[in-house]
Structure 1
């Protein structure tokens, strides 16, 4: 289970999200009426996918004892003709060509990838 609670701050569109004992700020860019003081919610989703992919690959590579390592994971979200797509670029070093299919499969098995690539019902209750 994961949980986060967001509350608005005194700055237009700036929000504090409480995640366990951590606090994260989110905001909108100035062109959307925000103060551009923090990442947008969509950027945080991109960061979550990039971080989860990195961690999942690191865990797998360590478990296998391979010489490979993750150099970076970049995620871009864009909407074209009404269809949203995450584009993920993983940069590895020290891997062999034979390891690439398995590492691709491992990247696609990270929990955030699974969460985003499936339809997840959202039960909204307003009180």
Structure 2
């Protein structure tokens, strides 16, 4: 499905993440001992969800023949009283959409592949490399 590699390449917590021909930097903010040189881990978590959100809704709109114009999703996270992560999405489209179109997009966004995995959880395994 997906494959990435992360390599420590700099001071403190700076790392290069590679996926095929693409690369980005991960780091912690200075307040946590990093250099603030790239996305923090939870920024990447929200970035994955926002990318899936935007791509899925753009695909759905295209299939329906709907014009979204510029689409934007703003995501934020916080911890609730039980210390569970709560993610909130606010969706924007510059093109005028009807209430029925927005209702459908809000239904679709609840079923994006990354949304489903994040809600279900994942089995994560680890092993020592050679």
TM-score normalized by structure 1? 0.91
Corresponding position: 1:86 with 2:77 = no
Moved over 3 A (4+): 67-70
**What is the aligned partner in structure 2 of residue 64 from structure 1?**
64
Note the C-alpha offset of 1:67. 3.3
Distance 2:103 2:70 in 1: 15
Within 5 Å, which residues of 2 pair with 1:1-127? 1-69=1-69, 71-81=71-81, 82-92=83-93, 93-127=95-129
Q: Which residues of structure 2 form unaligned runs of 5+?
A: none
Alpha-carbon RMSD across the aligned residues, in angstroms, is: 1.5
1:11-43 CA distance string (max 9 Å, x none): 110011111111111000001000001110110
Q: Which residues of structure 1 form unaligned runs of 5+?
A: none
Distance 2:110 2:121 in 1: 16
66-75 vs 45-54, greater mean Cα deviation = 66-75
50-59 vs 64-73, greater mean Cα deviation = 64-73
Q: 1:69 to 1:115 in 2, by over 3 A?
A: farther
1:21-66 CA distance string (max 9 Å, x none): 1111100000100000111011011111112111111111111012
Distance 1:51 1:70 in 2: 14
Check conservation: 1:70, 1:90, Cα contact below 8 A: no
